[in-house]
Structure 1
Amino acid sequence: MRCLVLPGLDGGGEWLDEFLAAMAPRFDARALAYPNDPTLGYDALTEWAWPQLPAHEPFALIAESFSGPVAIRLAARRPPQLKALVLCASFACAPRPPWSPLGLAALPAWLLHAAPLRQAPLPWVERAVLGRWSNPQRRERLRATLAALDPAVLRKRLSEVARVDARAALGEVATPMLYLQAAGDRLVSAHSCEEIRRVRPQTECIALEGPHFLLQSRAEDAATQIGRWLQRLKIAAS
């Protein structure tokens, strides 16, 4: 069965290689890489991704973090071959950080655009996305990921995150849904899962100990949880 993975804020998916390998050989898992274009917000990325969906074979859609609203809007169109939707450390509307009662939508626009984010201190970013799951290899991969980011693209995507609301589309999703929650997430709180289940109560939520970069730091365990869930749906061998 095909599993199409939509990447996080970096948009490239290069750091999803361990997760994709962990999904094999049972699943044909592939990641999409978004165009490196600062004009593309959620609406445009949804339109770009739509023709990339498999038209003649069953597939599951897996969205990491930033890509949750894209995946939700795609699923809301009910592509005939879509069998399952998985959101990982993601959200349907502007996420609420665990350290704040306010969502990103409450932050002033100037704050989101204030600094070239790829130049943020590596230790700060490392704590935010990896926490205690960091190690020298992951630190180096994080450094390379930050270095490759276009600041204009990143700021555009952050501004989109701060004002996104895909809850109406979420209500139109008919396929089974899984929310894979990172229990040690410092960027997206449990409120995002609660809000998704408020709109769509039948969504299953599985908490996995790990940081926001769950698919990077807990690749094997994340793949196992997703695989077991797909197996329970009786579609893993479709």
Structure 2
Amino acid sequence: MAHSNITAERSLEPPIWTFLPGLHGSDELFGAIQDRLPDDIEADFVNLPPDGKQDYDTLCKWLDDELSKGRRRLLIAESFSGPLAMRMANLRPDEISGLVLAASFCDAPLNPGLALLPLRPLIMVKPPRKALRHFLIGEDATDADVAQIRAVVQSMPKSTMSKRIRTILQLQETDNPPLPGLPMLILQANNDNIVPWEVQRKLEACYPDADSQWIESPHLILQRCPGTCIKRIAKFARKIDVSTS
């Protein structure tokens, strides 16, 4: 009886907002998000493993070991981590209360050669600032924002970055679980120069019941539009709480 009471109490607690990073794998770019989190929200910010295998199945097993069990979670996955979050939601259906996909995807682009072009600067020893602006953070980004992204990208082992890029290019839509009944919010960037339009649309088609919203932003949508993203995520989270209460 005592165990069932504890379980019931935990199910009534608000979910932990669990942020999964993009291709860079670091929580260092979530600073603006952390500053805008509601005071009553508990949040985790995950760092992906900097070495070893980087395919989604391996990362899902790693994440399952990394995240504590027994609490509801709202998974908020940026870009590369989207397919990882989908697998995690499928693995822990009783704990994952909802899924937010920010500038993410469910399938590799049709033309791998073209898809690789905007990713090449990320595996350079000194990523060009102009390329980072164009593909990631936007032409009007501050020098400080560009410098931070450049430092994070440079700190990542190039072999690890290459493995993650290979994982993206090998991804197939059929690899992702269907996730019926899971509340899902898709935040799409209108000016995304990393994720092609057809890949964005394919994600919406793959999960037709998701709430898909577009934001005027470059690829790094959580970094450039943290306030807007937090407001939309909070509204989405409130809807989940109402529907499950």
Aligned residue runs from structure 1 range 80-99, under 5 A: 80-94=94-108, 96=109
CA distance in structure 1 between the aligned counterparts of 2:140 and 2:199, rounded to whole angstroms: 22
C-alpha displacement of 1:192: 2.8
Letter in 2 for 1:58: R
Q: Classify the secondary structure of the residue corresponding to 1:60.
A: strand
CA distance in structure 1 between the aligned counterparts of 2:237 and 2:203, rounded to whole angstroms: 19
Paired residue for 2:128, among 121, 129, 135?
121
Asked if the contact 2:122–2:153 (Cα under 8 Å) also holds between the matched residues in 1, the reply is: no
Q: Classify the secondary structure of the residue corresponding to 1:119.
A: coil
Q: Per-residue displacement from partner, 1:22-76 (whole Å, max 9, x unpaired)? A: 1231321221101111433222111101133342222100100000110111112
1:63 aligns with 2:77: yes
Q: 197-206 vs 179-188, which deviates more?
A: 197-206
Paired residue for 2:228, among 210, 221, 232?
221
Asked if the contact 2:72–2:95 (Cα under 8 Å) also holds between the matched residues in 1, the reply is: yes
Q: Can you give the 5+ residue segments of structure 1 that lack an aligned partner in the other structure?
A: 97-101
Cα distance change on mapping 1:214 and 1:60 into 2, 3 Å: same
Aligned residue runs from structure 1 range 66-215, under 5 A: 66-94=80-108, 96=109, 102-104=110-112, 116-215=123-222
Q: Classify the secondary structure of the residue corresponding to 2:25.
A: coil
Cα distance change on mapping 1:237 and 1:19 into 2, 3 Å: farther
CA distance in structure 2 between the aligned counterparts of 1:211 and 1:113, rounded to whole angstroms: 18
Paired residue for 1:51, among 65, 70, 81?
65
C-alpha displacement of 1:174: 3.5
C-alpha displacement of 1:189: 2.6
Asked if the contact 2:107–2:199 (Cα under 8 Å) also holds between the matched residues in 1, the reply is: yes
1:14 aligns with 2:21: no
Tell me the residue number matched to 1:99. Answer: none
Q: Classify the secondary structure of the residue corresponding to 1:206.
A: strand
Q: Classify the secondary structure of the residue corresponding to 2:176.
A: helix
Q: 195-204 vs 208-217, which deviates more?
A: 195-204
What percentage of residue pairs aligned between the two structures are identical? 26
Question: Relative contact order (C-alpha < 8 Å, sep 6+): which is higher?
Answer: 1
Asked if the contact 1:72–1:166 (Cα under 8 Å) also holds between the matched residues in 2, the reply is: no
CA distance in structure 1 between the aligned counterparts of 2:119 and 2:134, rounded to whole angstroms: 19
Asked if the contact 1:92–1:170 (Cα under 8 Å) also holds between the matched residues in 2, the reply is: no
Q: Classify the secondary structure of the residue corresponding to 1:194.
A: helix
- Alignment TM-score, normalising by the size of structure 2: 0.84
Cα distance change on mapping 1:199 and 1:32 into 2, 3 Å: same
Q: 167-176 vs 25-34, which deviates more?
A: 167-176
1:232 aligns with 2:239: yes
Q: 201-210 vs 32-41, which deviates more?
A: 32-41
Q: Classify the secondary structure of the residue corresponding to 1:87.
A: strand
Q: Can you give the 5+ residue segments of structure 2 that lack an aligned partner in the other structure?
A: 1-13
C-alpha displacement of 1:112: 7.7
CA distance in structure 2 between the aligned counterparts of 1:15 and 1:228, rounded to whole angstroms: 23
Q: Classify the secondary structure of the residue corresponding to 1:36.
A: coil
What value does the CA root-mean-square deviation take over the aligned residues? 2.7
Higher helix share: 2
